[in-house]
Structure formats: C-alpha cells, structure tokens
Amino acid sequence: MAKYITPTLTITSKAHSTASDSGPMTQALALSVTDTLDVTEIRQIVRDVSTTAAVLFDADDTSYSDATSVAGTDGGFIFIRNLTEGMTTTADVYIGFNTGSGELGEGDGQQAARLMTLKPGEFSFFAWDLEKDIILDGSATATGAVEAILFLRTSSE
C-alpha cells in the first residue's frame, strides 16, 4: 500500500523599498510549491555534532538499500535542521557526501565534499539517491544539534 507525504515550500519577502522587513528584490516575492511524494518508510533521528565528521545516513545500509537499488527509483528525501539556535553552544552544521566519514572540506583535498552549511535554526529538504553516504560535521561540539528525517522510497518494499 502506498504511503504519502505532501511537502510544501513557501518563500515570501517584501519589496526592497518596504520600510520594515525589506526584501532582497525590487518587487515582493511569493513562491509556493507542493508535491505528493510516495514513501515506504520514515526514519527520524536527533544527532550530536562535533568537529569530526560522521556518517549521518549510510548509502550501504542493507535495511533500506540493496544490490538492486536503482538511482532515481530507490532513494528518498532528507530533511535536516540545525537545532543549536538558542542553545548554550551553537554550531554551524556541515552536510556533505562521500563513501565513509572523511572530513568535510571546500574542495581543498578533503575526503568528503561539502554540500551545504546550515547556520543555527536553518534547515534543508533535498532528494537522495542512496549513491553516497550523507556526512555530518560541525564547527563545534554540540549535543542534540541536528534533527534529520529520511523519507525513504524503494521499489523493494
């Protein structure tokens, strides 16, 4: 039986000329997108971060990936949020990809490639094809710093 999630992304801002809370553009912005996504499983975790990289989601985890996995068919969607806003210790959260937990860099010979930096309170929602591990790293050590939810879709349910 199919299971669905319905993510909605809404981005709004006022025009640059607005007196309060002015936006980055000359005109106001109102963008909204919604989709219905078929998922087979949901996994939610809260993780600590440190200045040592660690695997957040393992592409070779046999409980949701196998030798017959097909990129574009098997995979899922990942929601990641930096929870350190307002904590005693705040940290930037670095998200990257690789096979293994190599340190995240900016293309400077590090073992894993950095995709993004999430400042305290920021979040991201993106697709993942189970091809490379998702790596987590931080600018400081913080307990309970990251919430991650994997919305899995596989053809081998």
Distance CA 136, CA 101 (A): 8
Please give the tally of structural domains in the chain.
2
List C-alpha distances in Å: 37 to 6, 31, 78, 123, 125.
6, 20, 12, 19, 13
* Residue 112 reports pLDDT greater than 90: no
Average pLDDT estimate for 94-110: 66
Are both 50 and 116 inside the same structural domain?
A: yes
Are both 88 and 78 inside the same structural domain?
A: yes
* Residue 113 reports pLDDT greater than 60: yes
Are both 55 and 124 inside the same structural domain?
A: yes
pLDDT in tens, 114-133: 899 999 999 999 999 888 88
Distance CA 122, CA 119 (A): 5
Residue 157 CA, chain-centre distance (Å), reads: 23
pLDDT in tens, 20-38: 888 888 999 999 999 998 8
Domain membership of residue 119 as a residue range: 41-153
Q: What is the largest CA-CA distance in the chain?
A: 57
pLDDT bracket for residue 104 (50, 70, 90)? low
Average pLDDT estimate for 32-52: 92
Are both 79 and 124 inside the same structural domain?
A: yes
Copy the structure tokens of residue 128: 């993942």
Tally Cβ neighbours within 10 Å of residue 36: 9
Are both 119 and 60 inside the same structural domain?
A: yes
Are both 107 and 137 inside the same structural domain?
A: yes
Are the C-beta atoms of 72 and 139 separated by less than 8 Å?
A: no
Instruction: Write down the pTM of the prediction.
Output: 0.84
Are both 69 and 86 inside the same structural domain?
A: yes
Tally Cβ neighbours within 10 Å of residue 132: 18
* Residue 66 reports pLDDT greater than 60: no
List C-alpha distances in Å: 74 to 25, 46, 139.
38, 24, 32
